[in-house]
Chains A and B, each alone.
Chain A
Amino acid sequence: MSTVAAIATPCAASGIGIIRISGEDALLIADRVFSPFSSGTKLCDMKGYSAAYGRVFSEGKPLDEAVALVFRAPKSYTGEDVVELSCHGSPFVLSQVLRAVLSAGAQPAPAGEFTKRAYLNGKLDLARAEAVMNIIGSQGEDARCAALNALDGALGKKTQAVRSVIVSAAANMSAWVDYPDEEIPELDRSTLAEAFSSCENELRTLLSGFDAGQAVLSGVDTVIAGRPNAGKSTLMNLLAGRELSIVTPFAGTTRDIVEQSVRVGNILLRLADTAGLRSTEDEVEKIGVGRAFERVGRAGLVLAVFDSAEPLNADDMRLAQLCAGKKAVAVINKTDLPPRADFEYIKAHFKYVAEISAFEDSGIDTLENAIEAVLGTENFDTSGALLTTERQRMCCEKAADCLNEAVDALSSGMTLDAVNVSCDGAIAALLELTGESVSETVVNEVFAQFCVGK
Chain B
Amino acid sequence: MEYFAEKYDIAVIGAGHAGIEAGLAAARLGCKTAVFTINLDWVGNLPCNPSIGGTSKGHLVREIDALGGEMARAADATLIQMRMLNLGKGPAVHSPRAQIDRREYSKYMKHCLEAQENLDLRQAEIVALERGKDGDWLLKTKLEAVFSAGAVILATGTFLSGRVYVGDVSYESGPDGMFPAAQLSQSLRRLGIPLRRFKTGTPPRINRRSVDFSPLEAQQGDEHIVPFSFDDKPLPQNLAVCHITYTNAETKRIINENLDRSPLYAHKIEGVGPRYCPSIEDKIVRFADKERHQLFLEPCGLDTEEIYVQGLSSSMPEDVQLKIIHSITGLEHCKVMRTAYAIEYDCVDPLALSPSLEFQEISGLFGAGQFNGSSGYEEAAAQGLVAGINAALKLKGEDAFVLDRASSYIGTLIDDLVTKGCSDPYRMMTSRSEYRLILRQDNADFRLMDKGYALGLISEEKYNRFLEKKALVEQENRRVQKTVLAPCEQLNAVLEQNNTAPLATGAPLSELLRRPQLSYEVLAPFDKNRPDLPAEVFEQVEIGIKYEGYITRQQAAIDEMRRLEAKLIPEDTDFNLISGLRLEAREKLSRVRPRSVGQASRISGVTPADISVLLIYLARK
B615 near A440 (CB under 8 angstroms)? yes
Q: Tell me if B93 counts as interface (CB < 8 A to partner A).
A: yes
Residue-wise, chain A 420-432 has the 8 Å CB interface mask toward B (1 for contact) of 1110110010000
List CB contacts (< 8 Å) of A405-433 with chain B.
Answer: 412-418, 420-422, 424-425, 428
B97: min CB distance to chain A, Å: 9
A177 near B93 (CB under 8 angstroms)? yes
* CB < 8 Å neighbour of A121 from B310, B430, B582: B582
Q: Tell me if B272 counts as interface (CB < 8 A to partner A).
A: no
Give bound CA distance, A252 to B516, whole Å: 58
Q: Tell me if A344 counts as interface (CB < 8 A to partner B).
A: no
A181 near B608 (CB under 8 angstroms)? no
A437 near B436 (CB under 8 angstroms)? no
Q: A177-B89, A177-B431 are in contact. Are A435 and B580 (CB under 8 A)?
A: no
Which of B151-159, B251-259, B382-390, B547-555 sits within the interface?
B547-555
Nearest residue (CB) in A for B429 is A178
* CB < 8 Å neighbour of A418 from B88, B90, B579, B580: B90
Nearest residue (CB) in A for B620 is A1
Q: Tell me if B477 counts as interface (CB < 8 A to partner A).
A: no
B294 near A181 (CB under 8 angstroms)? yes
Q: A121-B582, A174-B431, A177-B430 are in contact. Are A417 and B612 (CB under 8 A)?
A: no
Number of CB contacts from chain A to chain B under 8 A: 101
* CB < 8 Å neighbour of A425 from B296, B553, B560, B613: B553
Give bound CA distance, A178 to B432, whole Å: 10
Of A183, A428, A436, most buried by chain B (CB within 10 Å of CB) is: A183
List CB contacts (< 8 Å) of B580-621 with chain A.
Answer: 580, 582, 601, 607-613, 615-616
* CB < 8 Å neighbour of B430 from A174, A418, A437: A174
Give bound CA distance, A337 to B431, whole Å: 74
Q: A180-B55, A417-B91, A418-B90 are in contact. Are A1 and B579 (CB under 8 A)?
A: yes
Give bound CA distance, A99 to B273, whole Å: 63
Nearest residue (CB) in A for B94 is A417
A127: min CB distance to chain B, Å: 12
Give bound CA distance, A417 to B547, whole Å: 10
Q: Tell me if A120 counts as interface (CB < 8 A to partner B).
A: yes
Give bound CA distance, A435 to B609, whole Å: 9
* CB < 8 Å neighbour of A119 from B92, B431, B517, B612: B612
A132: min CB distance to chain B, Å: 15
Q: Tell me if B511 counts as interface (CB < 8 A to partner A).
A: no
A438 near B612 (CB under 8 angstroms)? yes
How many A residues have CB within 8 A of the partner chain?
39
Q: Tell me if B437 counts as interface (CB < 8 A to partner A).
A: yes
A421 near B55 (CB under 8 angstroms)? no
A192: min CB distance to chain B, Å: 14
A414 near B612 (CB under 8 angstroms)? no
Q: A1-B580, A177-B93, A421-B550 are in contact. Are A413 and B516 (CB under 8 A)?
A: yes
B613 near A120 (CB under 8 angstroms)? yes
Give bound CA distance, A179 to B430, whole Å: 10
B61: min CB distance to chain A, Å: 16
A418 near B547 (CB under 8 angstroms)? yes
Q: Tell me if A24 counts as interface (CB < 8 A to partner B).
A: yes
Give bound CA distance, A385 to B582, whole Å: 30
Q: Tell me if B434 counts as interface (CB < 8 A to partner A).
A: yes
B550 near A439 (CB under 8 angstroms)? no
Q: Tell me if B226 counts as interface (CB < 8 A to partner A).
A: no
Q: Tell me if A297 counts as interface (CB < 8 A to partner B).
A: no
Q: Which residues of the partner chain B approach A418 to less than 8 Å between Cβ atoms?
A: 90, 92, 437, 547, 550
Residue-wise, chain B 61-102 has the 8 Å CB interface mask toward A (1 for contact) of 000000000000000000000000110111111000000000
A439 near B437 (CB under 8 angstroms)? no
Give bound CA distance, A417 to B434, whole Å: 11
B90 near A415 (CB under 8 angstroms)? yes
Give bound CA distance, A414 to B296, whole Å: 31
Residue-wise, chain A 167-179 has the 8 Å CB interface mask toward B (1 for contact) of 0001100101111
A178 near B547 (CB under 8 angstroms)? no
Give bound CA distance, A438 to B613, whole Å: 12
Known: A177-B431, A412-B517, A418-B550. 14 other contacts (CB 8 A): A120-B609, A122-B582, A122-B607, A122-B610, A174-B429, A180-B86, A181-B296, A182-B294, A183-B293, A412-B515, A414-B516, A415-B91, A417-B91, A417-B93
Q: Which residues of A contact B (CB under 8 A)?
A: 1, 24, 117, 119-122, 126, 170-171, 174, 176-183, 412-418, 420-422, 424-425, 428, 435-440, 443
The 10 sampled A-B contact pairs (Cβ below 8 Å) are A119-B609, A170-B431, A174-B431, A177-B93, A178-B431, A412-B516, A415-B516, A417-B90, A439-B560, A443-B615
Going nearest first, the 5 A-B pairs with the smallest beta carbon separation are: A415-B90, A417-B90, A174-B431, A417-B92, A438-B608
